[in-house]
Structure 1
């Protein structure tokens, strides 16, 4: 009997990343993939710079570049990413092999004494590492103070409990994956009201595009619904040249044979807000149509200004 092919899986080192990676390997095993699996932990640029604002660490791909290098060097065979960390464009030779079923795209508020967002006293400090979250937060509560926060889920919740923040905003999917009970959440924001990050709640399995044997096995665990929804969102991100450095979000839902997609772009102070929804049979066209509308309304200029201001800050 021939020995099984050993597949080396790349993962970041956090509890969330390792939990996601182990979960996906189990899905592969249950689908009958004829492989042995080994996990290789990889430290990324985004993991090394936890004391710097996410928008200043460096554009798209700060949580994936070292992992992509390992793919090119054949140190690993595929990587399990949080889809929201993936840049809009992938390097030639790499591709998303599959997207398993999405967990939860929503953002969640965790606050001291379970005080809801609209009931927080004026001047309360809310922690987030996302310009997208902070701009939408300021739209709802301009009287709150937004303070950046980085680190693992556990570290952020620890800072909240130590009194450094009155509330924090996290992705619901991450908390669910690492086993935090819903009881810790003060409130879940509707994904229609607080537009999530592109791909939030979904995993992206990245591999070399010439690895046919692996791609055939990944196809068995791909979720077509999640694939179409994330495709619409990532098309929008690509069309708008967006990244973690700008307040941009997108949320798609498959409704029958159509995709309903909403795109969001705002200035960091939330004084300029662009939001549009389309329903289309083609997820790619859904993303493109929203991008076209927002560009016509001036959203591209907001993105350019945010990036220019950031460049000046970093000089």
Structure 2
């Protein structure tokens, strides 16, 4: 009988804890284990501590994973639960993404204070967002709007909105649903006009390569279609050398054994953008993503990236 506690590493925000608890619940159900067979270990990351400037200026995506991965490599935790869109494309040696939970709705959600949608906002209104992708897409829709940088967890950003710092903000619908806050959404952003970040809506689980016990446990909860979609999206990001400094969107849809992918790179001011679409067999997910990224880099040209990197 399984008696060893499986230690789950996570950030301490309400959303991160909700994701860790979902992972625990799925493992409990898959293996018939009690809750006390698991412990949830909260680890503060650099990204949590840095609140005075955009992450793109502080070092990028790895700021939300570095300390958790260090604990995983040191054996202080057995698995790490992350938001997939926070994960750098290159992982530390000895670690791998071993499982993905079923993806939640990946769309972005607008929460308006003075209007229900971006298009209904008055000229010169302010929208808060810390995401360069969201900022660029907002400006593409409404060049007259001011974009303010909103850092912090979901609750912090919503408090800033209530304090009147902005007229609206955009958050991932998946996170709001996991927190039971979907009722505050005033408008949903359609994927064709407001394409999502690679990995958005998907929870991933990281573990040590070669840890057979953990790999066996995680295999039981891995959602293969989500894993295929993320293999495509992460390969697309890697081909573009995507980081927090790069306004990139990309989303793969799995339909049976087929995969369809749409990607976009956009200048921070929203005035220039290049898109790519591809489809093929889902088993070739990573290759499809890599090829799409390379095509987009060729089509956009090196100067497009140099202008704002």
TM-score bin (small chain): over 0.9
Q: Which residue of 2 aligns with 1:12?
A: 11
Unaligned runs of 5+ in 1: 308-315
Distance in 2, Cα, partners of 1:238 & 1:304: 17
Deviation at 1:33, TM superposition (A): 6.0
Q: Which residue of 1 aligns with 2:117?
A: 116
Runs (4 or more) in structure 1 with deviation over 4 Å come to: none
Deviation at 1:177, TM superposition (A): 0.5
**How many equivalent residue pairs?**
305
Q: Which residue of 1 aligns with 2:248?
A: 248
Alignment of 1:36-47 (within 5 A): 36-47=37-48
TM-score normalized by structure 1?
Answer: 0.93
Q: Which residue of 2 aligns with 1:312?
A: none
Matched, 1:207 2:207: yes
Unaligned runs of 5+ in 2: none
**Counterpart of 2:31 in 1: which secondary structure?**
coil
Distance in 1, Cα, partners of 2:294 & 2:265: 13
TM-score normalized by structure 2?
Answer: 0.95
Contact 1:240 1:300 survives alignment (8 Å): no
Q: Cα deviations across residues 194-224 of structure 1 (Å, max 9, x unaligned)?
A: 1111100000100101111110110110111
Deviation at 1:300, TM superposition (A): 4.6
Deviation at 1:114, TM superposition (A): 4.3
Q: Which residue of 2 aligns with 1:313?
A: none
Q: Cα deviations across residues 43-63 of structure 1 (Å, max 9, x unaligned)?
A: 111100112112112123110
Q: For the structure 1 residues 138 and 210, does the alpha-carbon distance in structure 2 shift closer, same or farther, using more than 3 Å as the test?
A: same
Q: Cα deviations across residues 84-106 of structure 1 (Å, max 9, x unaligned)?
A: 00001111200011001011111
Contact 1:127 1:168 survives alignment (8 Å): yes
Alignment of 1:1-315 (within 5 A): 4-32=3-31, 36-180=37-181, 182-281=182-281, 282-298=284-300, 300-307=302-309
Distance in 2, Cα, partners of 1:120 & 1:157: 18
Distance in 2, Cα, partners of 1:161 & 1:138: 22
Distance in 1, Cα, partners of 2:228 & 2:235: 11
